[in-house]
Chains A and B, each alone.
Chain A
C-alpha cells in the first residue's frame, strides 16, 4: 500500500481540520431499491467483530515472557553498605539495595523504629501509638480509622476496627499490620514469649520471623526490659533494632 508523501508530511504538521467541500445531497441517493446511508457503527465489546484482534492480543500475551535479568547481567557496582545508621547490610547491586531500603528504612517510625510497608500505615501507627492527644480524643470520639485506603470509617477502639476489617473488608483476623498497642508489663516468661512473638511479627517491627515463630529467649528478655534498654542495643539473633551484629553480613548476589 503506497502512501503519498503528503500523508507523512501532514502527520508531522500542526493540528487542523480540512475546509470541507460543500455538501449537496439529492433525494434520489440511497432511494429504493438502493439503501445506503452513511452511519457510524458501534460494537459492544463481546461482538465477534473483535475476535481477530482479541485472539492476536492473547497470542502475544502468551508469548511474552517477562524475565528478570540473570545475575551475571545485572550491573555490578563496588560493594557498598547501607548508609542507614546501625544497618550493616552490604550490597553489590542497586536493585537489591532499593528493595532493602524501601522495606526496612523508608517508612520507619522515629519513635520506636518499627518499619512499615507504606507511609499510610506509618502515619496511622504514629497517631495511635505515639500521639497522646490521640488517646485523649479517642475517649470522646471515634478515632481509629479503617486501614483500607478509600474507606473513611472510624472506630472507638482498635478491636472495633479489627472487626470491621474482618467483616466488611474480608481481611484476615491476624492481619499483621493491625496489632493493637500492647502495654509493657512484666508477665510470666511463657506469656511474655508469646506476646513477644506477636509483637515481633507485628507492625513490621525490625526483627526476623513472623507471628507464628516462637521466639528465642533473648528476645523475650528484651521485651520484658521494655523501654529501659536503649533502643540501639539489641539481643537475639537477627533482631535488628539499632546496630546490626558486628560481623559483616553476607553480600547479596
Chain B
C-alpha cells in the first residue's frame, strides 16, 4: 500500500531560515509560471525515503553499460529474484536525471521496458511501471515523451483490478498528460477519457484520488475547452456527469470510507482526495447549466458542510486546499444559476452553507490567510441577490466575526465591506440589525485606511446606512465622523461621495 506522507524531497538538515528562503523562491517561481500559464505540477510516488543529513540526491547515476546490463538481466535472468533486483536497481538509477537521459537515448531500452511492463511476472510488471513513473515525472520533455510507446498499455491496465498498479498507472498518465499537447494528442485517440471513466467504479479511494489527479491534469490543459471537453468521448451530458458527479457523492458517502481505508481519519482522506479531485470539477465549468440541473449546487453545498465538519475535528494540512476548489466551483456556478432559468428546487437555499463558510473562514484566518478572498467572494455571491442568506448572516450573529477580518488586508477589507453592502442595500429591516452595533466603529476605522478602494467601499456602506437608518448618521457625527471624512476631500475618486455624505450627515 502506498503510505501518504507529507515529506520533503529536499534534504533535511538545513536551517529554518534556509527553508523559508527556499519556500519564498518556490512561491515566486510558481507565481511567475502561473502568469505565463505554465503552471504544472507532477506527482511522484517513490519508495525510498530521502536520506537524512546527506546533501543532494541518493540516486546513483548509471552509465549506458550498466543500464544495458540491468535490462538484460531483468529480461532474461534465470532467477526471478535476480530479475526483480535488476529492475529495482534500474529504477533507483532512473531517479537521477542523467540516468534518465542515458536511458532514453539507448536503443531498444524503452522497447525492453515496455516488454517487461507487459510481461506476466506480476512484480516485474510493477517494477517496470515504477521505472516508467520515474521517467514521467521528469521535467525534461524529451524524457517524459519517451514514455509514449507505453501509453496504450497503461490505459489498458486501467481496466484491470490491482488497485496499487492502477494507481501507479494513473499517476504516470497524469504526469504525462500535463507534459505537452503532443502527448495529449496521442492519449485522446487512444481512449484516455473512457479509460478514466472506467476507474470511477473503483471501490478504492486511493484509485479515486489518482483518478482525480489525472482528470484535473487533463482538464487543465490549455486546449481543454475547445478540444478535450467537447471530445466525443466526453460529450453528451450524461457521460460528462456520470464521469464527474459520481466522484463527488462517492467521496461523500460514509460507506466508501468505511469499506476501504478504515485506519485513516476521514479528514485526511478528504485532504488527499480533494486536492487532486475537486479541481477537476472547477475546470469542468464549461457545461455549467447541465451541472446545475443535476443538482450540482446542493452536492457542492453538502461538500462544503462536510469540509467545515472536518475542519472542526482535525488540524490536517491540506484541508484548506480542498476547500478552495469547492468554493470556486460553487461560487461560479451560483452566477450561472442566477442567469439561467433554473428551477426553484435547484437553487441553493440551505442556511448551513453560510455557517460552514464562516467556519472555513475562521480556519483560513488561522492557517492560510491568502485564501480568505476566495471564501469572501463566495459569500458575496451567496448574499448579493439573496434576502434569505442576508437574513442568515444577521440571525446567526455573523456581522461581528466578519468585521474582525477587516484588518487582514486591503483586498479582504473591500470584500468584507461589499458583503456588508449586500446586506445593507436590502432596506431598513436589515439596517436595523446593523446599527446599533460595532459596524459604525469599524467604519470609522476603515475610513482611516489609505487605500482608495477600501475607503470608497466604506463610503458606499455609509450611504446605505444613513439612508435606511438615519439615527446612525447622528451617531456618526458624534464620533467625529466628519473629521474622518475630511481626510479624503481632495481625493479625486472619493470627493463627490465624501461631499454627499457630509451633506447627508449634517442636514439629513
Interface residues, chain A, with chain B CB atoms under 8 Å away = 1-4, 6-8, 10-11, 13, 15-26, 28-30, 33-43, 45-46, 48-70, 73-74, 95-96, 98-100, 102-104, 106-107, 115, 117-121, 148-151, 168-172, 175-177, 201, 204-213, 237, 240, 249-250, 252
Whether a CB of chain A sits under 8 angstroms from the CB of B299 is no
Q: Report the bound CA distance from A11 to B310 in whole Å.
A: 12
**Is A117's CB under 8 angstroms from B159's CB?**
yes
Q: Report the bound CA distance from A119 to B350 in whole Å.
A: 44
**Is A120's CB under 8 angstroms from B159's CB?**
yes
**Is A171's CB under 8 angstroms from B190's CB?**
yes
CB neighbours of B401 from chain A (8 A): 1-4
**Is B162's CB under 8 angstroms from A98's CB?**
yes
**Is B365's CB under 8 angstroms from A36's CB?**
no
Given the known A-B contacts A4-B397, A98-B162, are A40 and B305 also in contact in the complex, defined by CB atoms under 8 Å? Answer: no
Q: Report the bound CA distance from A250 to B77 in whole Å.
A: 15
Interface residues, chain B, with chain A CB atoms under 8 Å away = 1-9, 23, 26-27, 30-31, 34-35, 37, 39, 41, 43-47, 49-50, 75-76, 78-81, 111-112, 115-116, 118-123, 125-126, 149, 152-153, 156-157, 159-165, 186, 189-191, 193-195, 197-198, 233, 275, 279, 282-283, 285, 305, 308-309, 312, 317-318, 320-321, 324, 328, 331-332, 334-335, 338, 349-352, 355-356, 358-359, 361-362, 365, 368, 370-371, 373-374, 377, 380-381, 383-392, 394-398, 400-401, 404-405, 421-422, 425-430, 457, 459-461, 463-464, 467-468, 496-497, 499-500
**Is A8's CB under 8 angstroms from B118's CB?**
no
Given the known A-B contacts A55-B27, A204-B120, are A64 and B6 also in contact in the complex, defined by CB atoms under 8 Å? Answer: yes
Q: Could you name 17 residue pairs across A and B whose Cβ atoms are closer than 8 Å? A: A1-B365, A2-B401, A8-B359, A11-B359, A15-B351, A17-B349, A18-B388, A24-B429, A26-B427, A34-B500, A65-B5, A67-B5, A67-B46, A103-B120, A118-B157, A150-B197, A213-B76
**Is B305's CB under 8 angstroms from A11's CB?**
yes
Q: Report the bound CA distance from A26 to B425 in whole Å.
A: 9
**Among A48, A74, A149, A237: residue with most chain B CB under 10 A:** A149
**Is B118's CB under 8 angstroms from A35's CB?**
no
**Among A17, A56, A172, A176: residue with most chain B CB under 10 A:** A17
With beta carbons under 8 angstroms apart, the residue of B116, B165, B285, B358 that contacts A3 is B358
**Is B31's CB under 8 angstroms from A211's CB?**
no
Q: Report the bound CA distance from A156 to B198 in whole Å.
A: 27
Q: Report the bound CA distance from A50 to B320 in whole Å.
A: 14
Q: Across the two chains, which residue of chain B brings its CB closest to A15?
A: B350
CB neighbours of A21 from chain B (8 A): 387, 390-391, 394, 426, 429-430
Q: Across the two chains, which residue of chain B brings its CB closest to A24?
A: B427
Q: Report the bound CA distance from A209 to B72 in whole Å.
A: 11
Q: Report the bound CA distance from A59 to B30 in whole Å.
A: 8
**Is A3's CB under 8 angstroms from B391's CB?**
no
Q: Across the two chains, which residue of chain A brings its CB closest to B115?
A: A210
Given the known A-B contacts A33-B497, A65-B9, A68-B45, are A170 and B190 also in contact in the complex, defined by CB atoms under 8 Å? Answer: yes
CB neighbours of B405 from chain A (8 A): 1
**Is A68's CB under 8 angstroms from B47's CB?**
yes
**Is A24's CB under 8 angstroms from B428's CB?**
yes
**Is A65's CB under 8 angstroms from B47's CB?**
no
Q: Report the bound CA distance from A139 to B317 in whole Å.
A: 62
Task: Give the 3 A-B residue pairs with the shortest CB-CB distance, closest first.
Answer: A150-B194, A210-B115, A33-B496
With beta carbons under 8 angstroms apart, the residue of B34, B120, B233, B317 that contacts A207 is B120
**Is A15's CB under 8 angstroms from B352's CB?**
yes
B304 to chain A, nearest CB (A): 10
A178 to chain B, nearest CB (A): 10
**Is A41's CB under 8 angstroms from B160's CB?**
no
Q: Report the bound CA distance from A58 to B459 in whole Å.
A: 38
Q: Report the bound CA distance from A215 to B364 in whole Å.
A: 63
**Is A208's CB under 8 angstroms from B312's CB?**
no
Q: Report the bound CA distance from A206 to B119 in whole Å.
A: 9
Q: Report the bound CA distance from A65 to B1 in whole Å.
A: 14
**Is B47's CB under 8 angstroms from A70's CB?**
yes
Q: Report the bound CA distance from A206 to B116 in whole Å.
A: 14
CB neighbours of B123 from chain A (8 A): 96, 99-100, 252
CB neighbours of A95 from chain B (8 A): 1, 164
**Is B275's CB under 8 angstroms from A62's CB?**
no
**Among B43, B116, B156, B164: residue with most chain A CB under 10 A:** B156
**Is B422's CB under 8 angstroms from A69's CB?**
no
**Is B351's CB under 8 angstroms from A17's CB?**
yes
**Is A150's CB under 8 angstroms from B394's CB?**
no
CB neighbours of B349 from chain A (8 A): 17
Q: Across the two chains, which residue of chain B brings its CB closest to A151?
A: B191
Extra A-B contacts (5), CB below 8 Å, given A169-B152, A206-B120: A11-B352, A53-B328, A115-B120, A171-B152, A240-B120
Q: Report the bound CA distance from A64 to B209 in whole Å.
A: 14
Q: Report the bound CA distance from A253 to B19 in whole Å.
A: 37
**Is A35's CB under 8 angstroms from B305's CB?**
no
**Is B162's CB under 8 angstroms from A170's CB?**
no
Q: Across the two chains, which residue of chain A brings its CB closest to B419?
A: A38
CB neighbours of A36 from chain B (8 A): 421, 425, 457, 460-461, 463-464
Q: Report the bound CA distance from A15 to B457 in whole Å.
A: 33
Given the known A-B contacts A177-B156, A201-B115, are A34 and B497 also in contact in the complex, defined by CB atoms under 8 Å? Answer: yes
Given the known A-B contacts A52-B371, A67-B2, A204-B120, are A1 and B392 also in contact in the complex, defined by CB atoms under 8 Å? Answer: no
Q: Report the bound CA distance from A58 to B276 in whole Å.
A: 11
CB neighbours of B460 from chain A (8 A): 30, 34-36
Q: Report the bound CA distance from A8 to B78 in whole Å.
A: 65
Q: Across the two chains, which residue of chain B brings its CB closest to A6?
A: B396
CB neighbours of B362 from chain A (8 A): 1, 3
**Is A29's CB under 8 angstroms from B467's CB?**
yes
**Is B122's CB under 8 angstroms from A100's CB?**
yes
**Is A65's CB under 8 angstroms from B8's CB?**
yes
**Is A29's CB under 8 angstroms from B359's CB?**
no
CB neighbours of A102 from chain B (8 A): 122, 160-162, 165
Q: Report the bound CA distance from A176 to B119 in whole Å.
A: 10
**Is A149's CB under 8 angstroms from B159's CB?**
yes
A83 to chain B, nearest CB (A): 15
A89 to chain B, nearest CB (A): 9
Q: Report the bound CA distance from A63 to B324 in whole Å.
A: 18
Given the known A-B contacts A10-B355, A40-B334, are A54 and B34 also in contact in the complex, defined by CB atoms under 8 Å? Answer: yes
Q: Across the two chains, which residue of chain B brings its CB closest to A37?
A: B425
A142 to chain B, nearest CB (A): 19
**Is B44's CB under 8 angstroms from A66's CB?**
yes
CB neighbours of B305 from chain A (8 A): 11
CB neighbours of A17 from chain B (8 A): 349-351, 388, 392
Q: Across the two chains, which residue of chain B brings its CB closest to A17?
A: B349
With beta carbons under 8 angstroms apart, the residue of B2, B156, B317 that contacts A118 is B156
Given the known A-B contacts A18-B392, A55-B31, are A205 and B120 also in contact in the complex, defined by CB atoms under 8 Å? Answer: yes
Q: Report the bound CA distance from A252 to B126 in whole Å.
A: 13
A210 to chain B, nearest CB (A): 4
